[in-house]
Amino acid sequence: MSDSYDVVVIGSGPAGYVCAIKCAQLGLNTAVVESWADPKGKPVFGGTCLNVGCIPSKALLDSSHKFTEARDHFSVHGIDVGAPAIDVAGMMKRKDKIVTQLTGGVSSLLQHNGVTVAQGNGKLLSGRNVEVTAADGQKAVLSAANVVLASGSEPVTIPPAPTDDAVIVDSTGALTFDEVPRRLGVIGAGVIGLELGSVWGRLGSEVVLFEALDTFLPMMDAQVSKEAAKVFKKQGLDIRLNALVTGTSLKKGAVTVTFTEKGEEKSAEFDRLIVAVGRRPRTKDLFSSDSGVTMDERGFVFVNDYCATEAPGVWAIGDIVRGPMLAHKGSEEGVMVAERIHGKLVQLNYECVPSIIYTHPEIAAVGKTEQELKAEGIDYKAGSFPFAAIGRALASGETDGFVKIIADAKTDRILGAHAIGPSAADLVQQMVITMEFGGSAEDVQLMVFGHPTMSEAVHEAALAVDGMAIHMPNRKRR
Ligand code: FAD
Ligand code: AMP
């Protein structure tokens, strides 16, 4: 292994591995350092996303969704499969296989692109030298013209609910339960809490979610949050707002949770408890104090709009920097940094990063919410269209939810798109593309949408922006 590179990337999550591949494609001599190792000491690629995040959670969400389809929805199609049973071990095996396939795929891609791989813990020293400490304690130093920090994040723990990896678990533990808990508590009704609560709720757990805030999904458009609360309640998720967990006690394989709900002290018992109260950047011991890199009090590395840190030639991307903790945001930062190192002044449009909650119905958003525009004093017009009036949605029995588009009142330019319902993520992605091209509501109104498709809800929502939807009576025009 050479010890001098054009680029050394620390971390091989979706931010780091994409950056490394892009750098190699651009002809840069690139190495990636990864601390995660399998029992044989070989590096495990793909980070949180592929191993314990996006992918395994979506595998379980899809399995559990299929289970509810068979249990609750097949009969209306005239399909009688009797009462389905869940084989948790089988479901986990399938999830693990998908993870192995994808992490192995990243390994092959790194190899195919000629990226050098170093297993070990990377630490940036001064002068863009990276010290790598392997699992066996051996140290090596890689020097680089550019270093990219991409060490990702880890679950936040809270003193009232210390995890024991058995009864009280974090998101990683909740992906490996060996049976369906009868009573499941979840602390935090954010994206991860809702997704994991949904998986086990669908399979039969009685799920209670404790959320300290008094608003449900405050980052989403309020109309979407309201619809989501209604649908999740119908599904049996017991979401307690204004409920702050203050303590836990373990006894005989169960946990008693004490919490303050709207000022009142209460308690409840569960067989399993998932702590899903957020994630924090993994920046402890990532760089020496003389490296020139700085971070805020919460551990996020300071970067400019282009992910350059305060140390020349050192960049930081993904969950360790400002912005949403999302795999695709980190990957595109990785691409931007690779291009910049190579000399092309690419820039990322942070206004157009979509966010998705993979519950059923799915929830997705890009751009501004109504409440943000009101707070910013921007005059806008909004239109929404329900899936209940979309032929394809009726044919699929997926009639909950709607698509909503918000446009600037003066220029008609689309400022935000929000959806809850079937294919919400893919429909919002259509608006990401439209917004990237500076598209207006009228542009979408004049496009041809295939029939019958879920996309027709996008078309109709754009028409509804001007009170001109065809397949529903329109509200009085503004
Ligand atoms: P990570 O994926 O955390 O990767 C960092 C890598 O760096 C790790 O492999 C780590 O071992 C390595 N590393 C750390 N320190 C060092 C060091 N000093 N030396 C060497 N290596 C080091 N996001 C989405 O966009 N969509 C989703 O559906 C989604 N679902 C999620 C579900 C769950 C349950 C969780 C927990 C997260 C989910 N996320 C989702 C978030 C997503 O996983 C993260 O935003 C994403 O993985 C961040 O990418 P990253 O490359 O910055 O860091
Ligand atoms: P997210 O950051 O989207 O993963 O959401 C985590 C959620 O957990 C936030 O909405 C927090 O308000 C919530 N939370 C954090 N601590 C507690 C607590 N002790 N009790 C209940 N909810 C909490």
Q: Is the CB of 12 under 6 A from ligand 1?
A: yes
Same domain, 338 and 370: no
- Is the confidence at residue 135, as pLDDT, over 90? no
Q: Is the CB of 153 under 6 A from ligand 1?
A: yes
Q: How far is the CA of 16 from the centre of ligand 1 (A)?
A: 9
What are the DSSP calls for 350-363, one per residue?
GGG--EEE-SSSEE
Mean pLDDT of 432-460: 98
Give the range of the structural domain holding residue 312, as residue numbers without chain letter.
Answer: 4-155+280-348
- 316 within a domain of the structure (yes/no): yes
CATH classification at residue 198: 3.50.50.60
Query: Which CA distances in Å does 60 have to 56, 94, 190?
Result: 6, 9, 18
Please, which pLDDT band fits residue 136 given cuts at 50, 70 and 90? Answer: confident
Same domain, 99 and 209: no
Proximal ligand: closest to the CA of 161: 2
φ, ψ for residue 451, nearest 5 deg: -125, 140
Proximal ligand: closest to the CA of 45: 1
CATH classification at residue 363: 3.30.390.30
- 232 within a domain of the structure (yes/no): yes
Q: How far is the CA of 155 from the centre of ligand 2 (A)?
A: 12
Q: Among 73, 328, 342, 451, which one carries the catalytic annotation?
A: 451
- Is the confidence at residue 356, as pLDDT, over 80? yes
Q: What is the pLDDT of residue 476?
A: 64
Please, which pLDDT band fits residue 345 given cuts at 50, 70 and 90? Answer: very high
Same domain, 389 and 432: yes
Proximal ligand: closest to the CA of 276: 2
Q: How far is the CA of 253 from the centre of ligand 2 (A)?
A: 24
Q: How far is the CA of 334 from the centre of ligand 1 (A)?
A: 13
Q: Is the CB of 456 under 6 A from ligand 1?
A: no
Q: How far is the CA of 57 from the centre of ligand 1 (A)?
A: 13
Same domain, 150 and 12: yes
- 472 within a domain of the structure (yes/no): no
Contacts for 60 with CB less than 8 Å, ≥ 6 apart: 91, 95, 175, 199
The number of distinct structural domains making up the chain is 3
How many CB atoms within 10 Å of residue 211?
A: 24
Q: Which of 61, 110, 151, 359 to mutate to test the pocket of ligand 1 (most atoms within 8 A of CB)?
A: 151
- Choose the final residue of a domain: 250, 277, 304: 277
Same domain, 291 and 267: no
- 475 within a domain of the structure (yes/no): no
- Is the confidence at residue 187, as pLDDT, over 60? yes
- Two structure tokens written together for 383: 């239109």
Q: What tens digit of pLDDT does each residue of 115-134 get?
A: 999 999 999 999 999 999 99
- 310 within a domain of the structure (yes/no): yes
What are the DSSP calls for 179-218, one per residue?
S--SEEEEE--SHHHHHHHHHHHHTT-EEEEE-SSSSSST
Same domain, 58 and 134: yes
Q: Is the CB of 211 under 6 A from ligand 2?
A: yes
Atom of ligand 1 nearest to the CA of 44: 9
Q: What is the pLDDT of residue 2?
A: 61
Q: Is 459 a catalytic residue?
A: no
Tell me the three state secondary structure of residue 43: strand
- Choose the final residue of a domain: 348, 382, 402: 348
Same domain, 359 and 344: no
Cα(252)–Cα(240) distance, integer angstroms: 26
- Is the confidence at residue 219, as pLDDT, over 60? yes
Q: Is the CB of 211 under 6 A from ligand 1?
A: no
Same domain, 15 and 140: yes
- 111 within a domain of the structure (yes/no): yes
Q: What is the pLDDT of residue 1?
A: 55
